[in-house]
Structure 1
Amino acid sequence: MFRHQKELQFEVKVDRPDPMFARQVQEVLGGQFGEMTVMMQYLFQGFNCRGEEKYKDMLMDIGTEEIGHVEMLCALISQLLDGATPAEQQKAAEDPVTAAIMGGINPQHLLVSGLGGLPSNSNGVPWNGSYIVASGNLLADMRSNLHAESQGRLQVARLYHMTTDEGVRATFRKMLARDRYHQYQWMAAIQELEEKNGVVVPASFPPEAEMESQPEAYEFWNLSEGTESSEGLWATGSAPDGTGDYVYVSNPVPKGQIYAPVIPATELHHDLDGKASDK
């Protein structure tokens, strides 16, 4: 079950309305790496978790917190839209630079939500369930969570520098702080799972089936001009799990055959012989 409390997790109080900035904030609400995505990702991972109870409990804790972050951003967008009218859209259009960069007010904030937040990104594209990852493999999912938090925090940090409204910035600072902890949290979970099962996903796939001893499992292929990539840790030393040493292949050559597809039946109308089918 879920239970809602009326108080927001942190205070949301803007200094002044800014309908055009409300449009930008939509990205961290309903964009690919917005709060709606991490909320749904963590909750579905938690709902479906079959591992140790501590992982399920942790996922449900943070997933529920993200519901509160969605609520905070809706409150922020609502305050930024206070007093917005169609005249504001016209005002933005009078400044070509502003219109080109910001795109003016999102008309759906007026027409669809009545001055409220929307489940969409900054260009009005609806949020999509395909943004989330919930594979059932804890290590794979925790790595995806770290990626999502990293991208989301990056976008909030960019928005922070796009406004001088101290009230908005105060809200963003709280979000940045929580996103910092969430990154720490996923790093800790990843470390714990790697120590338990190894660093490669899936750990349960039998090595003999993949023939892990084959050289391709440790080779870096130089397939772009230059050799600067040879200077990275991925090209020298040993694999993280100690099962082999990396090899830098400076001039890789193909190891497969030249593939020639079979000519399909004429009913598929590829017209490969230059003639149309008479059927």
Structure 2
Amino acid sequence: MFFQEPELQYEVTVEDPDPHFAKLLQQAIGGQEGEMRVALQYMFQAWALPEEFEAYRNLLMETAAEELGHIEMLASAVTKNLRGSPKEMREETEETAAVAAAMTGQNPRQYLSSGLSAMPVDSNGVPFTGAYIAASGNLAGDLYANVMAEATGRTLATRLWDYTDDPGMKDMLSYLIARDTMHQNQWLEALESLDDPVPVPASFPQEQENQDVNYTFISTRREEQPNPEYPWTQGEAPDGNGTFSYAAEQPGDGEVIAPDPDPSTYNNPNDVDD
């Protein structure tokens, strides 16, 4: 169940409207690093958790709802950057599509399809896709995915912060960057609270793995290379269940030969009529 209040989670102001920056902000809405991605990701992860994981379900849903508020903030910022453009620019850019693109660099669809409003697309106008969402049903794996999602989102927000000189936009992005900091840390802390979260899934019996390679870094170089003695080629593995080792070559066996094709597929180039 959701409720809504007619106010933004954090105030959004634009002092110097910039249609081009509105286009860039779209990435933070509907892009692979955007808020639509994390909001839906956290929801679907939460909905998969059984009753005994109520604390984690609540953590995910609280954060998902917060991310919905971030979408609203960014949509407001896009609209203010588009509709607040100077009147002189609007009149000149309305003359031809070429002048409009040259003057504003905005996505034409923001005018043609949404009437100078935000859209569920990225900065190139590509619609948001659920393929961005990671929700495996395994809590540990999903929490790792969440750390990555917040890391890429924070990277995007910092680049947007550097790009703009508008004080209002910098203030909004500073807030979003700070929340990304919190979210990265909360997911890491949640991982620490799990018993033996790695390797994911930790519930799979490791004795069923191939014991010859489960902690071996395998070199794929043509020429045999010596062990570089990196942390991931020697010493105890982070899960505490094994010791890293190094293999200078891949196991290698068998031939890459496909079985004969089914005649009904017409895959055989040598199959000719007499």
Q: Structures share a fold, TM > 0.5?
A: yes
Inter-CA distance 14–92: structure 2 relative to 1 (3 Å threshold): farther
Identity %: 40
Counterpart Cα distance in 1 of 2:250 and 2:205: 28
Counterpart Cα distance in 2 of 1:71 and 1:164: 22
Measured on the aligned residues, the alpha-carbon RMSD in Å equals 2.5
Shift of 1:243: 2.1
List alignment gaps of at least 5 residues for structure 1.
none
The 8 Å contact of residues 89 and 104 in structure 1, kept in 2 or not, is answered as no
1:262 equivalent to 2:267? Answer: no
Inter-CA distance 273–103: structure 2 relative to 1 (3 Å threshold): farther
The 8 Å contact of residues 33 and 151 in structure 1, kept in 2 or not, is answered as yes
Shift of 1:272: 2.9
In structure 2, the partner of 1:208 is 207
Q: 1:245 corresponds to which letter in structure 2? A: T
Inter-CA distance 209–86: structure 2 relative to 1 (3 Å threshold): farther
Counterpart Cα distance in 2 of 1:218 and 1:37: 33
SS at match of 2:217: strand
1:56 equivalent to 2:57? Answer: yes
**How many residues were matched structurally?**
268
Inter-CA distance 92–225: structure 2 relative to 1 (3 Å threshold): farther
In structure 2, the partner of 1:136 is 137
The 8 Å contact of residues 227 and 246 in structure 2, kept in 1 or not, is answered as no
SS at match of 2:154: helix
SS at match of 2:269: coil
Counterpart Cα distance in 1 of 2:247 and 2:9: 53
Q: TM-score, normalised by structure 1?
A: 0.88
Shift of 1:258: 1.1
Counterpart Cα distance in 2 of 1:55 and 1:22: 35
1:11 equivalent to 2:11? Answer: yes
In structure 2, the partner of 1:197 is 196
Inter-CA distance 273–254: structure 2 relative to 1 (3 Å threshold): farther
The range that moved more, 78-87 or 23-32, is 78-87
The 8 Å contact of residues 40 and 132 in structure 1, kept in 2 or not, is answered as yes
1:180 equivalent to 2:178? Answer: no
In structure 2, the partner of 1:217 is 214
In structure 1, the partner of 2:124 is 123
Counterpart Cα distance in 1 of 2:143 and 2:174: 24
Q: 1:45 corresponds to which letter in structure 2? A: Q
